[in-house]
Structure 1
Amino acid sequence: MSHLSKKHPSPKILLSSVALLVSGLLIGWLFGTWSTCGTACSFNVALFDALGTWVGGVALALAAFIFAISQANASKRRDREEALSVAIACALRVDPFVSANKITKVVFRFVNNTTTNIHDVSAHMEGGSSLHSDRQVNPGRAWGFKAFPAQLDITNTANSEEEAKQIIKQSVLPKIVFAFSVNGHHFVRKDGEVYLFDDAPNWRSASVS
């Protein structure tokens, strides 16, 4: 599941704002003219033609400006959604190793099966300090690290590899935070949920040890 926000004003709202602005300018101009000359004012067709041309020009310029903003916002939204589709494919795999009924280490591994470079990768336990970080993982390459039970706040006792996997599933996977960037968009992933970094809860960042 993913969480994506960052909403922008719709084109209809922006164009309505233009209409209100132009109407306000026109009414203001008419009121200002009337208050200056009062009953001495006479209807001037040429003046109103010029005013209509001016108002139309202002409206066209503002509409073009707002259209450009709308297109830019739409482009940013598309870029973000494309980055999110890549981010959803980015996940850590976790494998415990058992020897003499004890978990000796836990190996975390991310394989970049996308066609995009993944930047600023890091992992930490919720509320904990960074376990490992790197600058970039190229397509087709793997990134990983090992951690020990004490770092993951779990018992090191396990009678079998299957029992160790259950310990990891219950106590590590729900709390491990995987952070990374895709095409300049920063994401975090925890317990199957993908968030834009700025929208994620406080656990998004590792503590400073």
Structure 2
Amino acid sequence: MSFVGKQFPNIEVNAMSDLGDTFKINVLSEAVNNKKKVLLFWYPKDFTFVCPTELHAFQEALAEFEKRNVKVIGASCDTPEVHFAWLNTSKNDGGIEGVTYPILADCNRNLARILGILDSREIYDETADAYLLEGDDVTFRATYLIDETGKVFHESINDMPLGRNVKEYLRLVDAYTHVQQHGEVCPANWEEGKEAMHADRKGVASYLASH
């Protein structure tokens, strides 16, 4: 089920700050109440391999997201305590010390299940006479961009081994903001400062003729 064009789920989830504070975050409220865009990115597990490279990459780009009025939130199904331990582990030891944005601890998997991003499926086991979970029951690398009204304008899901390109999310935010401000649409490979076009035949013809 895709959430693009729909409102993000209205649900509270535990989160951990870099200071060791556990608190609740409602991603939808973060967008609507603060009139901000939100980038929510999910990763499979703390203390793994590709995951810390992504968390540090988002941290390195944090000022660029904030400049665009975007709140960055990380998320996995680990507990707040495990998040805090990882936040206190140095980068040289595979930790995420220095990450300052909040990280959701969806350990009951309520939000991840609603979004449909868990690597698990129920199978019937005749021996146990019960439905058992197959898979690790952790999330794929799912990413959501949510606008100031709570509407999802981008979602993507990578398999576990595939790290994300953080610059692409900055480009998508720039493109969506351009659409909001100017009412134009953004063609393939559009970047900030490049020509956009009007969403009609004349606009498309004019753009194609000049490229």
Does TM, normalized by the shorter one, top 0.5? no
TM-score relative to the length of structure 2: 0.21
TM-score relative to the length of structure 1: 0.21
More helix by share: 1
Larger Rg: 1
